[in-house]
Amino acid sequence: MTIGNLHILKPHKPEKTDSDGLMPCPLCGAKAFISKDVVDGYYFGWSVGCPRACINDRTHKLNEEEFKKARLTFFHLNSKEQATEVWNSRCKEAESEGKA
Ligand SMILES: [Zn+2]
Backbone angles phi, psi at 50, to 5 degrees: -85, 125
Can you give the pLDDT at residue 59?
84
- Please state the φ and ψ torsions of residue 14, each to the nearest 5 degrees: -70, 145
pLDDT the model gives residue 61? 87
What does the alpha-carbon distance between residue 8 and residue 87 come to, in Å, rounded to a whole number? 31
pTM of the model: 0.78
What is the reported pLDDT for 16? Answer: 85
Ligand 1 geometric centre to CA of 25 (Å): 5
pLDDT of residue 9: 62
The answer to whether 65 and 42 are in contact (CB under 8 A) is no
Cβ count within 10 A of residue 84: 20
Average pLDDT score over residue span 25-43: 95
28 alpha carbon to ligand 1 midpoint, in Å?
4
> How many Å lie between the centroid of ligand 1 and the Cα of residue 11?
27
Give the separation between CA 67 and CA 38, rounded to whole angstroms: 25
Q: pLDDT tier at 95 (50, 70, 90 boundaries)? A: confident
**pLDDT tens per residue across span 41-91:** 999 999 999 999 877 777 898 888 888 888 999 999 999 999 999 999 999
